[in-house]
Amino acid sequence: MTTPLTARTCRPCESATPPLPADAARILLQDLSGWALVEGTLIRKTIVCKNFLEAVNLIQRIATLAETEDHHPDLHLTRYRRLTIELSTHAIGGLSENDFILAAKIDQLSPPT
C-alpha cells in the first residue's frame, strides 16, 4: 500500500529532475478533489469562498502550509471571494510529486465549495 499524499512531505527538486509524465500526473490527480491538469504543466483548483474575509483567511492558511512544506503555489483572488490555486514546480518546469502533496494538504484546509 502506498502512503497517502497527505502523509508525505515535499522534497527539494533539482533542476535536472524531470517533470512527471502526463500519465503519472493523471494518476496522482485521482487522489485530489476538484483539481484539473492544465496543459500537463500545472494543476489548478478554484474555490469560491463565502466572502472576502474567508478567502483571505484561506490564503493565510495556505501560505503557512506552503512555508512548512517549502513549496509555494500561485494564488489568485478575484471577484473578492474567488480563489484560484495553481501548483507547478518551477525549478523543473513542470509537475512533481510535491505539487500533488501540497494540493492534497490544501484540500484539507479548504472550505466546502
| Alpha carbons 66 and 33: distance in angstroms, whole number | 18
Evaluate whether 62 touches 75 at the Cβ level (below 8 Å).
yes
Residue that the C-alpha cell 484546509 belongs to:
109
Q: Which fold has domain 19-109?
A: Gyrase A; domain 2 (3.30.1360)
pLDDT tens digits in sequence order for the chain, 113 residues long? 589 999 999 998 887 889 999 999 999 999 999 999 999 899 999 999 999 999 999 999 999 999 999 999 999 999 999 999 999 999 999 999 999 999 999 999 966 55
C-alpha closest to that of 107 among 11, 2, 24, 4:
4
Structural domain spans, the chain: 19-109
